[in-house]
Structure 1
Amino acid sequence: MSDLAWDADAGRLLTQQLTSGNPLFIVCHAPAAILATRIHGESPFKGFNITCFTDEEEEGVGLASRAARPTLIPRPAAAERTIWTVPQAIRFLDFYRNADLLMADLVEVLIGTGIRKGEALGLHWNDVHPSQGVLYIRYTLSAVDNNQLVLTTPKTRTSKTWVAVSPRVASALQRRAHDKPASSGDGFRGGLVFHQPDGLPLHPGYVLNHFHDLSRQADVPRTTIHDLRHLAATISITAGVPLTVVSKTLRHSMLSTTANIYSHLTAQAAYDAVDSIDHTLTASDRTTNRHRRTPGRDHNPTTLLKPTTA
């Protein structure tokens, strides 16, 4: 018996077995490769019957072992997210409204709208319309090779749309308007909502590192800026906002994306839904029974009396 792997010597080994006249048993985990073997243009299996077995069948008779197979390295588990609670978010915002108003306003906008970090950093004043209560997402700021800053289109086609603005977000944008530098027509300078003192854009790497430093100083858990987007979704879902509305707010391309990411939150909503059905049916059932008429004597079924015997 020979357990042959497909390599450069397979043809030579097969030829030796075939010409030896001895019974031939071949166990191969790549039957397609064996069938494609050619020696001097011909298959060495010409005139032989070939039977292929599954891995389970080979293991059942002891012809193969799982230990001999290549080891598959499992994908590492995704790091567990740390999402702020509402009190922790308020603590951060209150802590830095006096110490670092720029970062406080940026975090306020990120939580209040659910937009992505790059979208906030690429937000232009031309796309902010407080009187209409909306802002438009047209750009995202990215760092190529963590160095050169470029403006690109949003992540998906559905991301390039309008986002509703709450009073808290409108107040943060109004504070940023007071800090708006004069436009100089020099590339990014002058048109961005969130910017450096000279009007140039904030580097995404700097924003993340500075955010971590501020979180530590405010004594709130370390989280990522993108997790502020998850906080926005968490607040909305736990407040009873329909999942379709949450998906629209986050601008996911499909509702299933929102459902998959926040399934741990929608589970409670599912229980609330069936409880609502139960309460509605039960209340209606009680009302119906209370007003249901009781049949009178005239409506009783006719009773047949059996004649008495004399």
Structure 2
Amino acid sequence: MTTARPASSRRSRTRANGDGTIYQRKDGRWEAAGYVLAPGNTRKRVRVYGTTRNDAMTKLTEKIAASNRGLPVATADSTVSAYLMYWLDGVAVHHLRENTHTRYGAAIRLHLNPGLGGKKLARLTTRDVRTFLDGLRTTCQCCAQERDTDRRRCCAIGQCCEKRLSPLTVTYVHAVLKSALEHAVREDELPRNVARNVKTTTPRPRRFQPLTAAEARQLLQAADDDRLHALYELALRTGLRKGELLGLHWEDLDLHGGTATIHRSLQRTRSQGLTVLHTKTLASERRIALPTECINSLKIHQEQQQEEHQTAGTSWTHNGLVFTTPKGRPLDPGNLTRRFRRLLHGAELRTIRFHDLRHSTATLLLEQGVDLVVIKELLGHAHIGVTAGVYAHVRLRLQRQAIDTLGNALNPTDTLDDPPTAAVVR
């Protein structure tokens, strides 16, 4: 006689309503399926796969949890536009800095949605992506985004300005699309990332013209009477980024020990305005040695700031920043750029970017024979390959000098005397 299973046993094997179903396929993988919220306030049945039961169940649980929070879960039969918005606001937002998230959003809004947004995600092909990128390279953006209709210019008057995107921008848009589709592959929405099969031309690196040693001395001399003299001194002698300089606090400086700890950066964001954030990368968090000239100028700047504090009185803003306005408020990066351009003009120097001071530091150090590893640590690059790549032209010039020096040693001369004994080279 067959014994009936207890009721409690049957209930323990029954999944609750809304938890979905899970079973093992013939190929050995586990498949879980359930209903989730989809774009357009509809509900769709999604399927996820895993090598184990727990793996598949975990993936489905994550989708259902996101759906219960009101976040639409894109599926393969949704459009590229719907998936991009899901990825941007539901996934990328959690691991991107705000300014990077804003730039991703602009690339999606201005280029990806108009070009590919209407296509089904599951039917997107490599040819679609290649055709889209070719169009970006050749299409006038003034006409494509209809900027000429309201002002009666460009194609609206029959005289196209042919304002095309730079190769760097096209590569950036392609990178955003690849990142989004890569996440779709990880979520088992797509079998492969079709954007990875499209090869874009590597854009030429931006050519910068760093200051020569003579120009650097001329700049520092012109900045002697500037209230931000210590900032320019730090920028040129240590290669700190603009945000790192503006985010520097007095507690980060050890003027007696002659060191500075770099772990913050001042940035302007859309939601919070001027705000102090973590440095660009983990490698950017570093401790650097301060030159004697910087220590002296910082001490003078500290005394000057205390006088400004007394003058401002109760209107002074207490934030601990090293470089501030005369009333203690943070310095806007845009305002610093304009001040820097006026300083260059007053010093009768050619116009360069503020960031080129950082390049000038590295270039001058390389030309003085400083090891590339030391420069990498000073600049806070994540990998030495970044340092080597950015300053490849400088290293090539140094190689030429080394080759010429060797050539002079090998050229026959009338007074050349061989050593009495040959040294053993190991």
TM-score (normalizing by structure 2): 0.46
After TM superposition, give the deviation of residue 274 of structure 1 in Å.
6.5
1:86 aligned residue:
213
After TM superposition, give the deviation of residue 222 of structure 1 in Å.
0.6
Q: Residues 113-136 of structure 1: CA distance to partner in whole angstroms, max 9, x if unpaired?
A: 111010000100001002211100
After TM superposition, give the deviation of residue 82 of structure 1 in Å.
2.8
2:362 aligned residue:
233
Q: 1:197 aligns with which of 302, 326, 336?
A: 326
Q: What pairs up with 1:136-215 in 2 under 5 angstroms?
A: 136-145=261-270, 148-181=273-306, 189-215=318-344
Consecutive unaligned residues of structure 1, counting only runs of 5 or more, are 1-35, 38-68, 291-310
2:233 aligned residue:
108
Q: Is the 8 A contact 1:137 1:162 kept in 2?
A: yes
Tell which has more relative contact order, 1 or 2 (C-alpha 8 A, sep 6+).
Answer: 1
**What is the SS of the residue equivalent to 2:224?**
helix
Q: Is the 8 A contact 2:316 2:327 kept in 1?
A: no
Q: Is the 8 A contact 1:112 1:166 kept in 2?
A: yes
Q: 2:259 aligns with which of 134, 145, 155?
A: 134
Q: Residue 383 of structure 2 aligns to which amino acid in structure 1?
A: M
1:286 aligned residue:
419
Is 1:267 the equivalent of 2:396? yes
- CA distance 1:78–1:271, change in 2 (3 Å): closer
After TM superposition, give the deviation of residue 273 of structure 1 in Å.
5.9
**What is the SS of the residue equivalent to 1:132?**
coil
For 2:314 and 2:382, the matched residues in 1 are separated by 35
For 2:419 and 2:346, the matched residues in 1 are separated by 58
For 2:304 and 2:369, the matched residues in 1 are separated by 36
**What is the SS of the residue equivalent to 2:218?**
helix
Q: Residue 101 of structure 1 aligns to which amino acid in structure 2?
A: R
For 1:186 and 1:140, the matched residues in 2 are separated by 24
1:96 aligned residue:
223
Consecutive unaligned residues of structure 2, counting only runs of 5 or more, are 1-121, 124-132, 138-165, 169-203, 411-415
Q: 2:349 aligns with which of 193, 212, 220?
A: 220
TM-score (normalizing by structure 1): 0.62
Q: What pairs up with 1:43-82 in 2 under 5 angstroms?
A: 73=137, 75=167, 79-82=206-209
Q: What pairs up with 1:110-125 in 2 under 5 angstroms?
A: 110-125=235-250
Q: Is the 8 A contact 1:189 1:201 kept in 2?
A: no
For 2:344 and 2:271, the matched residues in 1 are separated by 23
After TM superposition, give the deviation of residue 267 of structure 1 in Å.
1.8
Percent identical among aligned pairs is 29
Q: Is the 8 A contact 1:118 1:141 kept in 2?
A: yes
For 2:271 and 2:367, the matched residues in 1 are separated by 36
For 1:84 and 1:272, the matched residues in 2 are separated by 20
- CA distance 1:267–1:147, change in 2 (3 Å): same
2:381 aligned residue:
252
For 2:260 and 2:343, the matched residues in 1 are separated by 27
Q: Is the 8 A contact 2:222 2:346 kept in 1?
A: no
What value does the CA root-mean-square deviation take over the aligned residues?
3.6
Which protein shows a greater Rg?
A: 1
For 2:271 and 2:334, the matched residues in 1 are separated by 7
Q: What pairs up with 1:7-18 in 2 under 5 angstroms?
A: none
- CA distance 1:70–1:120, change in 2 (3 Å): closer
**What is the SS of the residue equivalent to 2:325?**
coil
Q: Residue 75 of structure 1 aligns to which amino acid in structure 2?
A: P
